[in-house]
Amino acid sequence: MELKATSLGKRLAQHPYDRVAILHAGVKVSGDRHEYLIPFNQLLAIHCKRGLVWGELEFMLADNQVVRLHGTEWGQTQVFWQHLSTLWETWSAEMSEVAAQVLQTQLDELSRHIDQGKWLTRQQTLGLQQQISRAFEALPLPTARLASFDNCRELWQRAQAWLNDVEGCRTEHNQAWTTAMLKEYAPFFEQIESSPLNPSQARAVVNGEQSLLVLAGAGSGKTSVLVARAGWLLTRGEAAADQILLLAFGRQAAQEMDERIRQRLHTDEITARTFHALALHIIMQGSKKAPVISALENDTQARTALFIDAWQQQCSEKKAQAKGWRQWLEEELGWTVPEGNFWNDEKLQRRLAGRLDRWVSLMRMHGGTQAEMIESAPEEIRSLFSKRVKLMAPLLKAWKSALKAENAVDFSGLIHQAINVLEKGRFISPWKHILVDEFQDISPQRAALLAALRRQNSQTSLFAVGDDWQAIYRFSGAQLSLTTAFHHNFGEGDSCALDTTYRFNTRIGEVANRFIQQNPWQLSKPLNSLTPGNKQAVTLLAQDQLDALLDKLSGYATPQERILILARYHHLKPAALEKAATRWPKLQLDFMTIHASKGQQADYVIVLGLQEGQEGFPAPARESIMEQALLPEPEDFADAEERRLLYVAITRAKNRVWLLFDKAQPSRFVEVLKALDVPVARKP
């Protein structure tokens, strides 16, 4: 059947199309020079209109596109339109059945995922979204028409909800699933630790994302969450004990975790390992040969003696090298170097020994060749760093020779070897779930080991517990951005926060939280306290009041209450403690550096040394070109790590904190604390 414009209508309309013909499942609109084929599956609507004299047909297509035919006789236009509409509607009704079947199949597939009684991960929903999109492409009808069919309308709306707001649908499903799990497994969450897990802890435990960052503020129960997570995986049958890998950074932390697991989970099949112990295990399994850890790694004195000997030999044998070292020490570090054979000066040796040890360690941690180290350095310091690397080369060679003589490896070499074993496929990871404690302390090298393990099985989940507010080990290679940009580094996933601290009171929490969050690079999170605290819970006090403060504490602190005295450096241990045994015999006093206090807690904390200067807090920047090139780049915020260090010090306390400052040269942190309404006391 065909409809044509009249001769007069064609002449007056001056339109490219003057006829339309019905095809098997579509229409062909054409003119003398133009032709347009419109399949029914692209047609959204057909409109029949009457002009002043002639009829007009409009074919509505996607993207607001309209194809028009003008100048047809009105009666013929009506007959043609009615016949075409009947054919199109019949075809559409038939195709709606096909579309409904396609939509139902997709929704059944969605339900299969959703009704499994499992957490729905971002990775899974991305796959579902892509699947729905592909299904829509296979529909025989334009999606814009689906809502007009009774058999498609509801199916289309449900599928479209997933396509348009997949994250909202995923979140809704996971929230409902989490609520059901917390109810169904309530006895587990009440009994897994000595105290029932709070809601934020329990939600972190059941979160099923492939990459999950749990932000655990000071005193918020991160160990409880790690133990409960392992217990949850076992209880739900999501993993056998030998499929769970628990990692800690220090041997003592790993031992404490082991003890806690034995106590709470009643199993010794799950063992917490350090990264070095993990690397050792991988190498032993992958090569059937147990590497020996160099004795030098645990003997600082022997290690530094080795470096000083190599340094002295280099300087004494090569004048150019000696000149280079003199320039380095005088011009960059600002040291006073003796005239003549300065390398024989014992005072200079003692001062330099720790630096040499540290620089060799950083070079070993990098793991690349000297050329690769130089290439990876920031461009603005690359030339100078190249000179420093050449001066350090004999020391690095001496270290490698010492390892070879022992037939041993160092800690950095251990991890590099383990990564190599994994990449060559000589060890296949049995672990489905990796749980990491103190994640904020992770270095690029350790992160590479995790990545190598996960590459072997894309379904391996990473459950990382840490606190970027307590990241204080950049000097040993820790890279904060591995935590603050967690998902960029470890893949799509989720993050959550433990929102309650069981350690300090609300006032300590208020001051510490506001102080640390002045740095915009720190991740924002809630951390609420269960106990109230008055305004004096955090107090600034002149440092000459230490004896008076301890006198006062001796009047009300019980022998069971711990008093922790903290300083930026170990050599700042106050002389007052030498008389503590006789003057304050009933006080339980402990002194340590703030770095060493990480993980500790006490009833009362006294922080010493809030002053400016070389021994000040915040410490002045002392990084050489070596640190600048080989350590992770610091965030662009003044005193960022020193601020985190003070945060760690303040949050060791349960009841009260005194911050002792130098009245003559007060630390710049003192003004910051005053602005946070921390009172200054004249006396304790």
499-516, pLDDT tens digit by residue?
Answer: 999 999 999 999 999 999
Q: What is the pLDDT of residue 13?
A: 63
Question: Would you say the C-alpha torsion 617, 618, 622, 623 has a positive or negative sign?
Answer: positive
Looking at residue 407, what DSSP letter applies? T
The span from the CA of 440 to the CA of 212, in Å, is 13
Contact 139, 102 (CB under 8 A): yes
**21 three-state secondary structure:** strand
Burial 62-89 (b: 16+ CB within 10 A, else e): eeeeebebbbbbeeebeebbeebeebbe
What's the maximum distance between 2 C-alpha atoms anywhere in the chain?
121
> What residue has token string 């596109």?
65
Q: Distance between CA atoms of 642 and 253, rounded to whole angstroms? A: 24
Residues 6 or more apart in contact with residue 366 via CB below 8 angstroms: 372, 373, 376, 630
- Do residues 475 and 354 touch, judged by C-beta distance below 8 A? no
Of 413, 384, 418, the closest CA to residue 399 belongs to 413
Distance, in Å, from the CA atom of 56 to the CA atom of 76, rounded to the nearest integer, reads 11
In whole angstroms, give the CA distance from residue 612 to residue 620: 8
Tokens of 117: 């009684």
Judging by DSSP bridges, how do beta strands 433-436 and 244-248 pair with one another? parallel
Contacts of 140 (CB under 8 A, 6+ apart): 41, 95, 98, 99
**Res 110: pLDDT:** 79
Contact 605/657 with Cβ under 8 angstroms?
yes
Cα 29 → chain centroid: 59
Measure Cα distances from 132 to 94, 161, 250 in Å. 22, 11, 47
Q: What is the pLDDT of residue 581?
A: 94
SS3 of 117-156: the string is CCCCCHHHHHHHHHHHHHHHHCCCCCHHHHHHCHHHHHHH
Within 10 angstroms of residue 592's Cβ, the number of other Cβ atoms is: 16
**Run of H or E residues at 286:** helix 275-287
Q: Is the peptide bond before 520 cis (omega within 30 degrees of 0)?
A: no
Nearest Cα residue to 610 out of 619, 602, 601: 619
Degrees to nearest 5, angle at CA 125 with 121 and 128: 145
Residue 369 CB burial class (10 angstroms; 0-12, 13-18, ≥19): exposed
- Contact at 8 Å (CB) between 215 and 495? yes
- First-residue to last-residue Cα distance in the chain: 103
DSSP for 552-609, written as a single string? HHHHH--TTSEEEEEESSGGG--GGGGGHHHHSTT-EEEEEETTTTTT--EEEEEEEE
Closest CA to 592 of 611, 612, 610, 577: 577
The residue to which tokens 């601290």 are assigned = 501
DSSP 302-330: HHHHHHHHHHHHHHHH-HHHHHHHHHIII
Low-confidence ranges of the chain (pLDDT < 50): none
DSSP-derived 3-state class of residue 70: strand
What is the per-residue DSSP string for 459-486? T-EEEEEE-GGG---GGGT--THHHHTH
Q: List the structure tokens of 304.
A: 């530094």
Domains of the chain (ranges; CATH) run 1-184 (2.30.29.30), 187-293+413-501 (3.40.50.300), 299-408 (no CATH), 506-681 (3.40.50.300)
Query: What is the CA angle 35-39-40, rounded to 5?
Result: 135
Question: Rounded to whole angstroms, how far apart are CA atoms 579 and 551?
Answer: 12
d(CA 500, CA 142): 52
pLDDT at 183: 96
User: What DSSP line would sit under 390-404, residue for residue?
Assistant: HHHHHHHHHHHHHHH
| Measured distance CA(207)–CA(494) in Å, rounded | 8
Pull the structure tokens for residue 423: 């990449």
Ramachandran class of 538: left when φ > 0, alpha when ψ lies in -120 to 50, beta otherwise: beta
Query: Rounded distance, CA 600 to CA 382, Å?
Result: 40
Q: Cβ distance 41 to 140 under 8 Å? A: yes
State the Cα–Cα distance between residues 255 and 608, nearest whole angstrom: 31
In whole angstroms, how far apart are CA 62 and each of 43, 137, 156, 163, 219? 8, 14, 18, 19, 59
